[in-house]
Amino acid sequence: MREKNPRDNVLVPIEKQVWPLSENDYWSTPFAKMLLHHLELFSGASVLDIASGHGTPAFHIAEQVGPNGQVLGLDLHPGQVLRCKTAQGPHLPWLSFAQADMRALPQDLGPFDRITGNIAFMFFRPNRFEALKQLTGFLKPGGQIVLTFPALGTFDSIWQRVDREMAARGLEKEQATLAEYIAERPSANEVRQWLTDLKMDRVEVDLWPLEIESGPGRAFLEHPLLRGGFLDDAYECFDNQTLANEVMDAVADDLKSFTPLLAQRCAFSAWRPEK
């Protein structure tokens, strides 16, 4: 008899889904689709979703595992937890949300069949390997972890243009700080090595590009994704914020020279050995 595949006894067909991924979220949803591409769910699974944010893809996963399953979404920010609980209301009672720092989780939290995290791994700083090691310890033997994050190489064209502007103005200190920010971002190769060092099975690490649209000038500088998640790093390279504004205004007005704006979506999947 063929060994049963967990994929065989899920999933809710797209046309019947009450909690599909949002088609209006141009950042979280593309990463979540990559996560779900790797994730092997089954009815009744227990799932830990870290850095759950506004619930993408925790709500969708909860619908898939069904009432015999359990999904716990954790986020550091109480506002995100409250937003998810409000959106949930009385629905999906096997799904819960709580506030917690994923780098220091209580030891009695698990174990879980699956651990997920959408755009989560970048927040494991400063010691990502130790945080990942702790997290895999909450997996049941034979359990799977799937995390996504924007990898090293994300928006390289922006950083190269900022670096050129700094160089043209002789801002060597600011250039060095920018280089440190960029180098701190995790790469796909680093993650692969860490999972190998942790002796995880069936390691997969994929990169998929994602283009982000923006207009020049203020549209670029105030882009809700670029400013909050990335451009702030460039501003933080400066002690003089007036100078920072001058440099970044010049960069923003030259958008055509460094488009397209490409993020590198990274997803990694690994399995805890059975023994």
Average pLDDT over residues 176-182: 93
Write down the pLDDT at residue 229.
73
Average pLDDT over residues 4-11: 51
Q: Is residue 204's pLDDT more than 60?
A: yes
Quote the percentage of the chain above a pLDDT of 70.
95
DSSP helix/strand/coil, 97: strand
* Rounded-to-integer distance, Cα 46 and Cα 42, Å: 9
Residue 31 tokens read as 């990463």
Cβ neighbourhood burial of 2 (10 Å; 0-12, 13-18, 19+): exposed
Which residues of the chain form CATH 3.40.50.150?
Answer: 6-150
Write down the pLDDT at residue 193.
96
Q: Among 158, 97, 121, 81, which Cα is nearest to 266's?
A: 121
Write down the pLDDT at residue 9.
55
Question: What are the φ/ψ torsions at residue 203 (nearest 5 degrees)?
Answer: -75, 130
**What is the CATH number that goes with domain 6-150?**
3.40.50.150
pLDDT band (50, 70, 90) for residue 14: low
* Rounded-to-integer distance, Cα 115 and Cα 134, Å: 12
Using an 8 Å Cβ cutoff, are 100 and 123 in contact? no
pTM of structure: 0.89
Q: Is residue 21's pLDDT more than 60?
A: yes
- Give the pLDDT confidence of 34-59 residue by residue, as tens digits: 999 999 999 999 999 999 988 999 99
Average pLDDT over residues 97-109: 86
